[in-house]
Structure 1
Amino acid sequence: MLTLLDRRARGMERTEYEVMAAVESRHWWYGGMRAIAAALLDEVYAGRRDLRILDAGCGTGGNVVFLRRYGSVAAVDLAPEAALFGAERLRGALVRASVLALPFVDEWFDLVTSFEVLYHRDVPDETVALRETWRVLRPGGRLLLRLPAFEWLRGRHDCAVHGRRRYTANEVRELLQPQGFEVERISYVNTLLLPLPLTQRFIERVAPAIDRNGSDLQLPPAMLNEALRWPLAAEAAWIARGGSFPVGLSVICRARRV
């Protein structure tokens, strides 16, 4: 039987999925993160349209749409809200399953993506999920992994989406290498806008009684939404030139199965 706390948490998660489905095709953060992901993928897959891809923890499917430019995409997500709110994007792609037990044969995929999934409380041990990822990747296949960075940046949004922990780049390396992955590129991202979440976290700490209404994913006004795209576009361009950032709200890594 669900406790009252469990029911409230489930309600918050459903709300986040619903908002995500409504805004992820237009929201500056999603667009910027996909531009950064594309910079890392184009470095090794530019011109490819034949990849077998798995989006492990697909949410409502916005990244599945993005990844189809590189080949055919399968998707898994454990939450029923993924199918409910992402039905149109995920039609024919979604399998309801856990990243801890991927329902695919060995060495099937060329690329597995995992965006803000392994830090979730439903993944109590990242190494299990990474072993599963390694198993379904063909030799030489790649993982594109993105996670929230730095525990000192933990905020209310982490609680709303049941975030278990945040990571440093070194911690990501230490997770991947023992599981048979070679780190090719790693960087912090969402760096240029870091003062904004820092200010928000400060307010949350000094005034915890202030109740913030709505999700962090709410779409801002059109002009502000467009303005916020530009810093992430600049970061994507820098990443595409081989650059990296020493600090940021997220850490992104491209690793190869060896």
Structure 2
Amino acid sequence: RTDLRILDAGSGAGAAMGYLARYGRVSGIDLSPLALGYCRERGLRRLSQASVTALPFAAASFDLVTSFDVLYHRAVGDYRHALREFHRVLQPGGRVLLRLPAYDRLRGRHDVVIHTARRFSAPELSESLREVGLAVERLTYANTLLFPLALAKRLLEPWLPAAPGQSDVSPNSPWIDGVLAAVLGAEARWLRRHDLPFGLTVVALARKRG
């Protein structure tokens, strides 16, 4: 379909909005004026400065709400308020697509730097979606092939040197980026037909009843 009314809740610099535009009319919200400025530089125009917990739209305004790596932020507060807002602005039968970091035991230095409030498990996210009246259609982990490396890094982190307040994430060399792209591409093909039992990320698709 190319006629969907889409809201990207927490649009950041607008990369997802640009991709979603092929499926319909996309609106974006973000708390950060800087992020919205980047969106405008991409030529995106349907933008509002707002919180995911107080969406500036009427009920039943959208067919699809997306929110990628947003609800875990400390600035969101109670993420369930955001889920209720997503439910409110969806038309009956509309869907919400979420991507969030998984497992509190993977919390590390980078989480502190970017003000992470929490990470999620699939059962926890599923229960929260159902509590606000959304029917879960698909729930899976992703970034599974990189999970062992990330877990090993977290276990070793207490013994690795780092300055206070310093992230443990840094740019990769081009050849490493190429390897990671190939790995994630293979996983994406698998996810078209199958779910994954664990991973660095949890992804949910849920529908508003009616």
Q: What does residue 188 of structure 2 align with?
A: 236
From 58, 74, 84, the counterpart of 1:131:
84
Q: What does residue 175 of structure 1 align with?
A: 128
In structure 2, C-alpha distance between the alignment counterparts of 1:215 and 1:141, rounded to whole Å: 38
**Where does 1:62-101 land on structure 2 (aligned, <5 Å)?**
62-89=15-42, 91-101=44-54
Amino acid at match of 1:244: D
CA 1:86–1:215: 2 relative to 1, 3 Å: farther
CA 1:171–1:142: 2 relative to 1, 3 Å: same
| Per-residue deviation, 1:119 | 1.0
| Per-residue deviation, 1:216 | 2.6
| Per-residue deviation, 1:152 | 0.2
In structure 1, C-alpha distance between the alignment counterparts of 2:182 and 2:7, rounded to whole Å: 29
In structure 1, C-alpha distance between the alignment counterparts of 2:104 and 2:129, rounded to whole Å: 19
Q: What does residue 158 of structure 2 align with?
A: 205
Amino acid at match of 1:238: W
**8 Å Cα contact 1:55-1:112 kept in structure 2:** yes
| Per-residue deviation, 1:222 | 2.1
In structure 2, C-alpha distance between the alignment counterparts of 1:215 and 1:227, rounded to whole Å: 20
From 173, 188, 192, the counterpart of 2:145:
192
Identity %: 49
CA 1:90–1:174: 2 relative to 1, 3 Å: farther
**8 Å Cα contact 1:204-1:210 kept in structure 2:** no
CA 1:105–1:217: 2 relative to 1, 3 Å: farther
**8 Å Cα contact 2:110-2:167 kept in structure 1:** no
**8 Å Cα contact 2:113-2:167 kept in structure 1:** no
TM-score of the pair, normalised by structure 2: 0.93
TM-score of the pair, normalised by structure 1: 0.76
Deviations 1:153-176 (A, max 9, x none): 001111111110111100001100
SS in 1 for 2:55: coil
From 55, 59, 73, the counterpart of 1:120:
73
| Per-residue deviation, 1:90 | 5.6
In structure 1, C-alpha distance between the alignment counterparts of 2:54 and 2:108, rounded to whole Å: 29
**8 Å Cα contact 1:83-1:90 kept in structure 2:** no
Structure 2 gap ranges (5+): none
| Per-residue deviation, 1:214 | 6.6
CA 1:82–1:134: 2 relative to 1, 3 Å: same
More strand per residue: 2
Amino acid at match of 1:257: K
More helix per residue: 1
Amino acid at match of 2:174: A
Amino acid at match of 2:155: F
**8 Å Cα contact 1:121-1:163 kept in structure 2:** yes
Amino acid at match of 1:225: D
- Residue 64 of structure 2 is aligned to residue 111 of structure 1: yes
